[in-house]
Structures are given as structure tokens and as C-alpha cells.
Structure 1
Amino acid sequence: MGTLLPALAPQTLYVTIRRDELRALKEERAQLQHKLTQMTRLLEQSQFGGPDKALA
């Protein structure tokens, strides 16, 4: 059997972020979510044979 190691207590990491950095991250997240939505829609259209068949 392997050697048992004592479990260490979890550690908390505190991070400081400026408001402008947070705003930029939120904007980037929104853009990526929009892009993901577009790509998902295109993938669904290609799987179902295009936009004409998706509407039928």
C-alpha cells in the first residue's frame, strides 16, 4: 500500500481586481457568450440541413 499523507486544510486565495479590469472582463465574457450562441446556432443549422429545414 502507498504512504498515507495527512490532509492539508484548504487555503483561501484573495485577489484584488480594479473596477476597469472587472468591467473589461465582463465585456469580454459577454462577447464570448454572444459568439458561442452564434456558433451553436450555425452548428444546429448545419446538422439539420440548413436554415430552410430548421424552420419547417
Structure 2
Amino acid sequence: MGTLMSASPPQTLYVSVRRDELRRLKEERDQLQRQVAQLSLLLQQAQGSDKAVVTL
């Protein structure tokens, strides 16, 4: 059996972010969300075309 260790309480990490950094991160997040939506649509279309080919 292994050694038992007591669980330490969770720690909170505080960080500071400048407004310009936060704005850049939000823009990057928005761009990534748009890319995910576009790729999801392409995947759905590809899966739909695969089904169409299989049913022929």
C-alpha cells in the first residue's frame, strides 16, 4: 500500500490582466469560436454528403 497524504486545502491564484491584454484575449476567443462554428458546419456538411453517397 502507498503512503497516505493529507489533502491540502485549495489555493486561489490571483492574476492581473491589463485592459489591452484582456481585449486581445477576447478577440482571440471570438475568432476561435467563429472557427469552431465554421469547422462544425463543414463537418456536418461532409457527414451529410457521406450519407448521401452511401444511400445511392
- Does TM, scored on the shorter chain, surpass 0.5? yes
**Which structure exhibits the higher relative contact order, with contacts defined as CA atoms closer than 8 Å and separated by 6 or more residues?**
1
TM-score (norm 1): 0.83
Which residue of structure 2 lines up, in the alignment, with residue 20 of structure 1?
Answer: 20
**Structure 1 alignment gaps of length 5 or more:** none
Offset of residue 32 of structure 1? 0.4
Moved over 4 A (4+): none
Cα distance in structure 1, aligned partners of 2:25 and 2:39: 21
Bigger fraction of residues in helix? 2
Give the % identical residues.
Answer: 59
| Residues paired across the two proteins, number | 51
Unaligned runs of 5+ in 2: none
> Normalization by structure 2: what TM-score?
0.83
